[in-house]
């Protein structure tokens, strides 16, 4: 059984027991989060695709930790002009464990 959920402007394919990293959502370790924007649910031969969401479907997960992603280097340069800018970015992430999928 798996589902496709929408979170943080992205789509994630999840199954019960999966641990995923998503863009930061509010909450602390141990909190339960319910995702109600479910785009698709598949259970063996029973596949439900939403238009755009599957009605009555929800995915429940538990927050494991709040963390930061890997550092990205952003470097801008214009040749022969002496223009150089170097900055970095670390995305805030939430690590989640998917508990159940219901529809």
Q: What total number of domains does the chain contain?
A: 1
The pTM of the full predicted model, rounded to 2 decimals, is: 0.84
> Which domain covers residue 59, as residue numbers?
2-102
Distance CA 27, CA 102 (A): 22
What is the reported pLDDT for 103?
A: 86
Distance CA 34, CA 50 (A): 18
Distance CA 97, CA 32 (A): 10
Taking only the tens place, the pLDDT of each residue in 12-28 is 999 999 999 999 999 99
CA-atom Rg of the chain in angstroms? 18
Taking only the tens place, the pLDDT of each residue in 47-67 is 999 999 999 999 999 999 999
């Amino acid at each position: 059984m798996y589902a496709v959920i929408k979170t943080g402007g992205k789509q994630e394919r999840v199954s019960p027991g999966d641990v995923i990293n998503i863009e930061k959502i509010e909450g602390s370790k141990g909190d339960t989060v319910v995702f109600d924007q479910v785009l698709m649910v598949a259970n063996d031969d029973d596949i439900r695709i939403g238009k755009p969401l599957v009605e009555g479907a929800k995915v429940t997960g538990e927050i494991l930790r709040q963390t930061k992603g890997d550092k990205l280097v952003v470097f801008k340069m214009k040749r022969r002009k002496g223009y150089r800018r170097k900055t970095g970015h670390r995305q805030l992430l939430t690590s989640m464990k998917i508990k159940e999928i219901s529809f």
